Structure 1
Amino acid sequence: MAAHRYWRFANIVPAGGGALEITELQLLDGTTRVDTPATLTTSLPPTSGGVESLRDGSVGSAVTWRVTKGLSIDFAFGAAAEVNNFRMGSGASPSTFVGTLALQWSDDGVNYTTLRQGDTYVWPGPFAWTRNVVNATRVRSYGAVMSQNGDVALSVPMPPLMEPGDLLVAFTVSTVNPPVGPAGWSLLSTVGPVGSVNNYLSMWSKVATEADRNGAYNGTNNTNGQVLALASGIGTPSLESSLGAFDNLNVRTKDLPVITASGDGRLGLGAGYWTLAFISGTTDMAVSPIPPWLKLFAAQAQLRMGVAALPGMKPGDATVGTWSTTATGTGGGWAVLSAIFASSAAIESTPFPVRGMPVAYLPPAQPNPAQIDMGRARSISPGKFRRLFAETIVGQGNGRVRGFTLDYVNPLNKPYPCRVRLVREADGQQVRETWSNANGAYDFQFVDELQSYTVVAYYLAHGKRAVVTDGLTLANGKVELMP
């Protein structure tokens, strides 16, 4: 990473949406502090405290701003400085701590480029240091295709939010061994054969380039697949270890192979494939336990494949999990893979955690990725971009808002499936959207538990178009904590 003379923190949003209180803000190169020679200024004067208190090495002296709109915290060096990390000191309250910000650089002090933005920050406790921010490996985005029965040329679209330098990881099913992948992709591991058709579950990787934005994984002899974009604070992530297992016992569950993480900030991935020659009814796939596993994609109908992530692994953590299926029939078997990824330049220190989902932010599970434009990341509409940004970056946490949409049909309230939106009251940002199911139930998971929310349900078949429930908070029990 090139060195630059000017660095700043901008787009600062407190966790509670109001005042900001921090005690320390230091720039680092890896784990080495580098900000002390720089001149420190702010675009807005603090409401209380002195700016120099932000780098006096003590988390006991707070600096506050009543409003943060237009606030930037600027470091001007006499010569170009390498910065790829930072750490902060918290104040007294989680609501006044940093919710999100952008780290930016400039060579002329006028035109700035964003190095890092979109992470959300966990309050480490009163007057305490955050942990290391750079060495976490995370899933930035993912794409998938539904089942393509038979030996077909599989085409899996690229994840919509991938960036050049991400590690692209593909899980595919093939009827040949060794499997054949497209040019530029490296085979990481394969396991099988399972079932009467001798299927193999394989894992591939490729470092993303600009040309991949509008591309796809184009394989042969594949029946289904998924591509994930793995990102890291330092460098391109790489496979640390993987294990596979398979059997043809026609059982409904299969334990993932156990791999133990050797350092902080690791990301575990677990993939399961269930093959069945003759299916009775539909197939559903589930991974357990949730949490800590976060199910990215799971099978429906004929697909019979699932991938889940285990973020924030630290030394000694293990990939303990079980894939299961509701499929019934004959000729079944399991192929499962466990893998651990880490930054290629990971710093062996405590990782920076993201609110509610440590050291990773993940797109919410999507019910049918085949119906979503998973490519064309640079040509999506502004409205779709805002939705993707809200769902995958903004508002992550350990909270949960759930309820029912009901319609009065004399003499009872009956379930009413409809569109439901979750709005953050601090700034009016829509952070989630879903449809309530046939029972009228909706469930917004892993939202910021420190926020206050409004739920808007749209009763489209009625003259009364919307039903609003506001003031939902953790304090009044309307925002719950994830189990």
Structure 2
Amino acid sequence: MAAARYWRLAAVRPWGLGALSISEAALYTASGRADASATLTSRMAPTMGGLAALQDGSAAAVVNWSASQVAAPGWALIWEFPAAVEIVCIAIGGGATQATYPCDLRVESSPDGAAWTALGEVGGLLFPGPYTLGSVDDLRQHVFSMDFNGGAITEAYGHPVTVHGGAHIESTSPLIDGTPYLSLAGGEDYLEFPNAADLALGNSYEIGFDLRVPSGSTVGAIWHQGYYNADALSWPSPGISIRLLDDRLRFYFYATSYADEQYLDVQYTPNVAQRWRMVRSGGDGAVIRDGAQVAARSGLGTLPAPTRPLQIGRWTFSHGTPTMVARLDNLYADSALQLAKAGTARVLPTSGSGARVISGGPVPDAGVPSPGAARLARDMEFGGLARIWGTTKIKGAVDVPTRSRVLLLRQRDKLVAREVWSDPVTGAFEFVGLDAGQQWLVLAEDQAGNYRPVAASRLEAQP
């Protein structure tokens, strides 16, 4: 979805009896907080405090609205920017109690302040704490994710997959994060997914994956959702394509014919696992390799919705169906400017230290400014650019991942800073936007209450 000059928060329902009290309202682009350049207005004048307090970078002072104001039609906070911007994250500061913090809200954008488009709604927001800035969430839609850590080849968001040839999961010589991966040995080894509405990523998206290509690999595609006619040198069915060539990856952002193919070529290193991200924001595209941007271009054409199935490993075209020899892991796709699906946060790869309940350490994925750098929201008390991650497992002969409530406390005063539920399948959890200069304590509680809580203390958040 395109950038917009006007952004609006509406349809707020507080946790308690209806009065609303917040201490900050921050909007973020991929490069960081951006609302300082915007004019903030409210359709209803606050009963206490001024709107400037919501943009001053401090969550110390509150702005209040009465229960009747919030319940009346038309309550909203509106930001007007000098030029169109792409907002990817929103953060709301808490007041004195959870009762006056928003539980539900709707995010909207507009090119002119008159016609509004609802990007989505989010409910059940966690109270970040008194006078603390808390992130609403990454506004991208997590639509596709495969980590190949289970016993079968599946996709996290329910897209049905057909496995062709000998494509299979392996764990020998893992790639970057020490977990199993997808092995493709050429021939007819590939995965195929039916075309689906949410796989139309539009013109703002991120596709990421880990890849190891042996020397002398055959060509194929990591992500291919179009059709190329080699006889006519045209794309009768355009779509996003990431093609493996003899010595490079070719990232197709938009193409209809040979004359206007819009792509970026970047060399890979044979026999070395590398982490890749293809990102697009409107007419701008970039490729990121191992955390560093290595190629970029602008003026990209508008991509239509794909009509072909999605293929992983195969690059369909009129002269044949080549497939590749490679190892692939942690493949995901996010589309921008939508509220994330409830309960489906994409699990980031971890290195798996084997700790019984919690392991702390870095996730090897640098925060390069891009549409994928949306989690930049930070609070005044605990905030920064570092993170703590881990897994929750039930210890046994074979440790079994389990869903747990995980609390993050500041070590020196045991003040609760964050709270999440770990993933029910992998046990993975992550706390982001943390101050690397403080020490932290992580406490995991078993969901069923059959085990005592387990803590890991004096952890240091990693960049």
TM over 0.5: no
Shorter-normalised TM-score: what interval?
0.3 to 0.5
Q: TM-score when scaled to structure 2?
A: 0.38
